[in-house]
Amino acid sequence: MNKNWITLSLALCSALLLSACASNPYPLNMTEEQWNKLTPDERKTLLLKQQEYQEQQRLERIKANAKRDEQQMALKLKEQERLNRLYSNPGNGNVLMVNLLSGEYRSHKKSYQLQPYTTLIARGETKEIELVMRDNKQYTRTERAWLQYNPQGTGIYLYLSYPSDYNHDRITLLRNADWICGSQHKSGFQFSKYEALNHLRIYIEEQGSQCYRRHR
């Protein structure tokens, strides 16, 4: 066994961790000079070791992905169970009816009128919705939006891009005492230089709560 082989064998673990670059035709991130100094048997051994390492890494990735998918599914099931409990017991502000009555959507220089839309949403839920709108020629277009009811039950948010901790471009509607019996809000927001929702009329009403004002 030559000296080069001994040196390469000692460095094998480090080389495996680095792995081979996709653009490098030689295994274990070796240079052409190192590769040319090896005997055919040494090359074969290194190639087999690299294949074993790559297969081990592949199996570990499969295992990690399966575990991640399992955890995500468990979280989704837990969240769905929570929402089911709220929808089964909608009182105390657990579930709201949200009606988008009218409004203007502006994109660049074009203007569209929002069509009425209604949905139920539970406390702590984020729901993807579809805004349907028409221009003055009755051309219809749709835009994805996200409706969010915060866990504290104190506000409704409307986004035109997916909600995140870093996304503060939203229409905010804060709870008032009239939500129990139904309350209408007017709002708007300039989401960007080219996109806005104007003159938005939204009706919000708690579900399953007793409105004493109606019995006066």
pLDDT higher than 90, residue 47:
no
Q: Whole-angstrom Cα distance, residue 96 to residue 191? A: 25
Domain that holds residue 175: 95-215
**What total of structural domains would you count in the chain?**
2
- Mean pLDDT across the stretch 153-165? 94
| pLDDT at res. 8 | 54
> Could you tell me if 202 and 138 lie in one domain?
yes
Tens of pLDDT, residues 85-138: 999 999 999 999 999 999 999 998 899 999 999 999 999 999 999 999 999 998
- Mean pLDDT across the stretch 153-182? 94
> Could you tell me if 139 and 194 lie in one domain?
yes
Tens of pLDDT, residues 179-190: 999 999 999 999
> Could you tell me if 193 and 112 lie in one domain?
yes
A 10 A CB-CB count for 138 gives: 7
Q: Residue 110 falls within a domain, yes or no?
A: yes
| pLDDT at res. 212 | 79
| pLDDT at res. 165 | 85
Q: Which backbone phi and psi does 92 adopt, to 5 degrees?
A: 60, 30
Token pair recorded at residue 51: 């294949």
